[in-house]
Structure 1
Amino acid sequence: MKILLVGEYSRLHNSLKEGLLALGHEVTLVSTGDGFKSFPSDVLLQPKYDSGFSKKVKVLFFKLFGINITSKALKNEFFQNKEKFQGFDVVQLINESPLGILPKHEKEIISFLKKSNKKLLLLSCGTDYLSVKYAFEKKFRYSIFTPFFEGKISEKEFFPVLKYLKPEYKDLHQFVFEKVDGIIASDLDYDIPLQGNEKYLGLIPNPVNTEKLKFKPFASEKKITIFHGINRANYFKKGNDYFEAALEKLQQKYPSKVEVITVENIAYSEYIEKYNAAHIILDQVFAFDQGYNALEAMAKGKVVFTGAEKEFLDNYNLKEDEVCINAIPDVDYLFRKMELLILNPEKISFISINARKFIEREHNYISIAKKYLAFWETS
C-alpha cells in the first residue's frame, strides 16, 4: 500500500511510518516538523517570516493588507511539491489543521489531497474544533480549559486554543468531516468527544517504536532524579505551575534525596537526551490518557506523571499507579505522590517494569500499524 501521512505531532506519524515500513508498505511523511521540536519529515515544509526582521514585516503586511504571508507561503510551498502528494492509496491528516496554517489554505490543500488520492482519513490528535468545544462546555471533569476558567491565562494568551471555536475553524471542521472517509482517535481525550459520530472508526493507541527506546531498569541511588520539561507557550495548559509548586515543596523537605532537571523549549533530540538520566518524568496534568512524550518515557522505564484517569484504567484493565501516576490539578496530591516514590524507591522499580510491559503490549508500533491498516481498508 502507498501511504501519505500529513502533519506531525510529538513523533506519532514518524513511529507509525516505521511500523508501516516494517510491514512492507511505501510511506511518505510531509510536515512542518512540529515547530522547535524539529521532527524528521520526507518533505519538510518550512514556515517563513516567523522570526527576526522578517516577522516584523509579516506583522506589518497583515496590518496593511490583512494577509498572513507565512500561511500563504507554506501553502505555495506545498503546491510547488504537489507531484509528491498524488497517487496514494491512503492519505492521513494528523489533525483538521494538519499544517497549522489558515483554514482557507488548509482547505485548498485538503481538497487537492482528496481529489488526487484514493482515500482520505483524519486522525483526531491535538486541539481541534470538536475536542475544544467539548472541553469548553465543561463536559470533562477538568481539561486544558481549567486554567483559562480560573483566570490564569488571558484570552489573548489562550488564543491558540480558543481560535478553534471561531467560525472559520468550525467551518474547517465541517469541511474536513465531509471530505474524509473515516476518523480515528489517538487517545481517550479525543475518543470521548467523537463518540456517536457516524464517520468515527474508533480509538487506536499511539504507536511507539520500542526497538529504538531502551529500557533502563531502576537502580537505587542516593538521589532520585525528576525531570520537568516545559513548553513555555503551553505552561498553564499542561499544568506546569502545579508541578513546579509540588517540586518546590519536595525539594524543601527532601533536599538530599531529590535532584530536579528543568528544561524549556528545546528540540526533541536534546529533550530526550536530557531526560534519559531521570527516574521520574512530569508530563502533563489536564489529560485523561497519555500523550506521546509520556508513552516514550514509559517505554524507557520512567515513572511518568500524566493522564491516567479512571476511563484509562478501565479501558486497559489497570489499577491505579500500576503503569504511571495520574496527575491531577492538586499540588498537595502531586507532592504526596512524589513523596511516596522518594520514600519508597521499590515503587519506582515496580511502576518502571510495568510501564515498559504496558507499552510493549498496547503500543507496539508494528501491532498499531496493523490496526491502522485494518481501519483504512474498512473505511
Structure 2
Amino acid sequence: MDLHGNVSADMAELADVIVGYDTYPHVDMFERAAEAFELLAGCAEGRIRPARALAHSNMLVVPQGMMTEQGAMKALMERAFEMERTAGVLNVTVAGGFPYSDVADAGMSFIVTTDGDEALASRLAQELCLMAIGFKERFGVSALPPQEAVAAALAAPEGPIVLVEGSDNVGGGAPADATHTLARLTNLPKRALAVICDEAAVKAAVLAGVGGSFRGPVGGRHDELHGLPVELEGKVRLVSDGEYRHVGPYMTGQLAFMGLTAVVQCGNLTLVLTEKRVPPWDLGHVRSLGLWPADYHIILAKSAIAWQTAFGPFAKGIVHVDSPGCCSANLAHFRYGSVTRPVYPLDEGEPRLRLSVFSSPTQLDR
C-alpha cells in the first residue's frame, strides 16, 4: 500500500496483512513487495496467523509534512522500525493518509501486525498513534504566497532554490497547469525553470518550429482555482516526443512519456511545455531535454515531496508556495462533508484515536 493510503477498519479486517511503503519519496517499492510476499507465503503455509490493530489518529496531514527523512515523520518511522524488531511483530505500517480525499477514514493511521498476539498489536498501534498526535503541530508546513515566495527565492545568494507548489501536485491529481506562481516568473533577473502541462500551447510551439517564435496563453486551462492563462512569448529551443527513462531512485529504469514536448526560452524563464501531466519524480524529465537543474537559480516544482528524487541533490534552498489548488497544504481552502469529525486541524481540541483489532482465521478455520 502507498504511504498516503487512507485505511478503513474494513480494509484491516479483510486483509490478512497490510504492508505500506516506508519511504517518502517512495523508493522502497521493491523491498516492500518482497516483504509482503514473504508474509503471504507464511500465511499460505500456516506458519503465521496474523493479528492486526488499526489505530486512526483523526488527523489530516498534508504530504509536505510526511517526508520520512526528517521531522516528526522520521521519528515515527524510526519507532516503527524498532517495533518491527520486537519478537512476534510481523509488520508495522505508518500510513500518512491522503487529506484530499473527502472520505470517512481520511487521515493518518497505523497498522501493526503480529503473529497471533492481538494485545501486542493493539498496544503498539496505540503507542504510535498517540506519538503522532503529540507531534500534531510538527506536521504543519510554513508557506508563502507566490509573490513573496519568488522574492524569497531571488534574495537567496545561491541557487537552485526550489519553489514547491504543492497545490498543483501532479502526483496528487492536480492538473499541472496552475499559473499562480508561473505568472511571477516572467521578467526575472535570474534564470528559472518551469514545467507546465498545456496541450494547446505545446502544439503552437511545435508549429512555430525550433528557432521560431512562440507567443500565446500558457496554463490555466482547467479551472479558475488553478489560475488563469498567462501570456508568454519566447523562442522555441527544442521539440521532443517526450519519452525518457527514469535514471534516479524512483521507478528506476522505467520508461515515462510526457507526450509532445517543447522547450521555450522566455527571457530568463526556461519553459517546458508538455502534452501530458508530468510529475517531477525523476531527473530524466529535464535531462532528456538537455536541461540541467544546477543551471537555474529558481526551479518550480509541481509536487509536494517527490520532487526530491529529481532536484533534491541540487537544491540550495526550498520555499513552499501557498497558492490555491486541489492539493494545497492549506486545508482551510477546502470544504469537507464526509470525513469523520472532529478531525485535526479542521476542528479544535485534541485528536482522539480510533482503534480496531482483528485476527485472521487459522488454516483449519478456512
Q: Which has the higher contact order (CA 8 A, sep 6+)?
A: 2
The structure with the largest strand share of the pair is 2
Look at both structures and tell me which one has the larger radius of gyration over its CA atoms: 2
- Normalising by structure 1, we get a TM-score of 0.29
- Normalising by structure 2, we get a TM-score of 0.30
The structure with the largest helix share of the pair is 1
